Structure 1
């Protein structure tokens, strides 16, 4: 079943058992992150965040380009500094929403992901790329350094890899993106949907409470000094142990049976 994810037709939603697919549906504009597209994505993620039956999200795109980044025609039509600031703030809010979303988000990438489109991939928790996909931060080529994409990119790959992408604007292929850590999986084009669906279904089959706690803890501890991170993670594990699903999971393992999750 495909239903609108927002008040526009720029993002569609398909529900599966335990997970949803949100699809950017503006291929004629290469799924550019216009203000309208970002609003549609933000609304779709906000809606999903409150749905306990949804335990994983796939972010996909229609057409041969995953996402071309900001809509340059829209940006070129704006001369007011405050409007530019508002547009970039909206984009940053969207990227942070993906990270703060309770559910893991998997980017399903076919085709090019450039500039803020590459940022979108880097902001997702996992990314499955078709072998023909390419990634670039080419802002330097048009005099606009990819400064906000740099934030997500530099938190996913090594500094010199990030700087090479940012300073040259040269595209990298899927295998290079995998080697750098920008994507988690690379598959043949004909396997992209089935592989991503299987990955999402596998995550959705776990305890939603446990996955949510784990995702939140991951992003909090990653920026902490080592000792602080261990103290924080110990507190998270202690809290996790008090939850029903932890008790059920451990009991099921000891008793050699499948656990019955309550996602709490």
Structure 2
């Protein structure tokens, strides 16, 4: 089932993952969360992959949690309390695996990204969206405040923008998403795959070890005070500067040639 609902295609150091349940708008079902968790765990150990692209099949990126499964969970004696607690814990684990991956993860977004689907975009390191894509944390429209998607959203967009989205349930378009920092680039639908691939190839062409250490430091320093962040970042740069490949990269730049990285 994992191979069916989540496709993986590796080419030239770039792994493309496709959420592949278009009939449910690629909802984050129990099976999809399990597939993502297993694939992310495998990618964390895969040194051949330098960048990850995450996309959705069909007419949407991801519509969030599977509401039919959630309603079915209510049939338990506790009215679903244990199931819901487990579901949101599993989803949070998957979302947190993305920034923890050594490889940068780029969301390739089209159609809609709603609720936990918007959370998935916000959890990725970068995002490219097609014109016309709509983003929302719209659970409030059905009486469910998007509290867990809020965690990732508020770490991407300004506070007041996030609060308005969460309390009104209104969608923002791709242009507004770029304006507030939820996505990096907005392109035509026809150019979406090519532009996302081009961004991935640019990152994949850098020294992999430097991107890896930099990504880890990026997320570590965000949680620190300014003084702690500077101390931590300085220590990371010292370690980075002592690498043979960094010495070679600087020498190549000064000598106006391509670096011979190992």
Superposed pair shares fold, TM > 0.5: yes
Q: Partner of 1:140 in structure 2?
A: 140
Residue among 7, 20, 26 paired with 2:21: 26
User: In the alignment, is the contact (CA less than 8 A) between 1:99 and 1:123 conserved in 2?
Assistant: yes
Residue-by-residue CA offset, 1:65-89 (whole Å, 9 max, x unaligned): 1100000000011122111100000
Q: Partner of 2:191 in structure 1?
A: 191
Q: Partner of 1:174 in structure 2?
A: 174
Q: Partner of 1:72 in structure 2?
A: 67
How many residue pairs get matched?
A: 257
Secondary structure at the residue paired with 2:99?
Answer: helix
User: In the alignment, is the contact (CA less than 8 A) between 2:6 and 2:19 conserved in 1?
Assistant: yes
Match runs of 1:16-95 below 5 Å:
16-79=11-74, 80-95=80-95
Q: Partner of 1:3 in structure 2?
A: none
User: In the alignment, is the contact (CA less than 8 A) between 1:18 and 1:205 conserved in 2?
Assistant: no
Q: CA RMSD for the aligned pairs?
A: 0.9
After superposing on structure 2, the runs of 4+ consecutive aligned residues of structure 1 that deviate more than 2 Å are: none
Match runs of 1:97-108 below 5 Å:
97-108=97-108
Task: Report the Cα offset of residue 243 of structure 1.
Answer: 1.4
Task: Report the Cα offset of residue 225 of structure 1.
Answer: 0.8
Residue-by-residue CA offset, 1:158-204 (whole Å, 9 max, x unaligned): 00000010000100000000000000110011100000001101111
Task: Report the Cα offset of residue 7 of structure 1.
Answer: 3.8
Q: Partner of 2:77 in structure 1?
A: none
TM-score (norm 1): 0.96
Q: Is 2:221 the partner of 1:221?
A: yes
